[in-house]
A = this chain, B = another copy of it.
Amino acid sequence: MTTRVTIWNEFLHEVENDEVRSIYPEGMHETLAAAFKEHGGFETKTATLREPEHGLTEEVLENTDVLLWWGHKAHHEVDDEVAARVQRHVLNGMGMVTLHSGHYSKPFTRVMGTYGSLVWREADEKERLWNLRPDHPIMDGIPDYIELEKEEMYGERFDIPTPDELLMISWFQGGEVFRSACTWQRGLGRVVYFRPGHETYPTYHNPLIQRIIVQAADWAKARVRRDAAGSPNQTSFEPVPNPTKEHIL
């Protein structure tokens, strides 16, 4: 069965900055969409900040098995109602893969409950991502480590809830470490955070980075969905009433 992926991108850097545009001429979302197409088994859509409702209408989300999110300098422009809508869909079963500076995005911090803060530095330094979980489907085919010649540094303490699964830890030349690939379950949905992808580096052209993102989407995709109209009081994915006295065994 085909997995329906929606790739959301802020899509401002690529429009406003020549350097970034030279790396991602059609925007990062198109580079990532091409990676999904190449891999096969996915049907991809894209959505961006400046579209009406940021391209994330109720209908789009209802037809999305997993949502990718890349945002950076305009988190505040994301409408609170749309952010709440994304959170609701995650809790109802949709997967979400948050990339790089999405750690500060409204949908991610809402489902985490924390600031999502970290330390960072732009210094063209080397990053090594170490693979802790060769047994994990998201790490399938990934070697002991991936090396990126130049990336932005993200350092601990990363203000997130303890991940359910910690898949990779990054080493940076300047002396920092970072939990770079993490998973969590939230409601009926699954959430992945994956660190690399600063806009001024060609990171999303790297085949191993692409492989992890595709496998993260496959792992996080919705398996069950709660009716979008379901009240918060409805815990079951098959609508059931609360049990009453008659239900006592």
Binding site for B on A (CB under 8 A): 87, 91, 93, 104, 110-121, 123, 125-126, 128, 130-137, 140, 143-144, 153, 155-159, 161-162, 164-166, 169-177, 179, 184-190, 223-224, 232-238, 240, 242-245, 247-249
Contacts and interface: CB of A to CB of B under 8 A. Distances in A.
Contact of A249 (B144, B174, B233, B235): B174
A53 to B, nearest CB: 22
Nearest to A130: B156
Contact of A175 (B121, B140, B248): B248
A232 B166 CA distance: 23
Contacts of A190: 135
A175 B184 contact: no
B187 A159 contact: yes
Nearest to A118: B235
Contacts of A114: 91, 111, 186-187
A136 B123 CA distance: 32
Contacts of A131: 156-157
A66 to B, nearest CB: 12
A156 B174 contact: no
Contact of A244 (B116, B121, B233): B121
B157 A130 contact: yes
A135 to B, nearest CB: 5
Contacts of A118: 235
Contacts of A245: 121, 123
A117 B249 contact: no
Given A117-B232, A130-B177, A175-B248, 8 more contacts: A121-B242, A125-B248, A128-B176, A135-B190, A144-B157, A144-B236, A162-B164, A162-B184
A1 to B, nearest CB: 12
Contact of A134 (B113, B132, B157, B173): B157
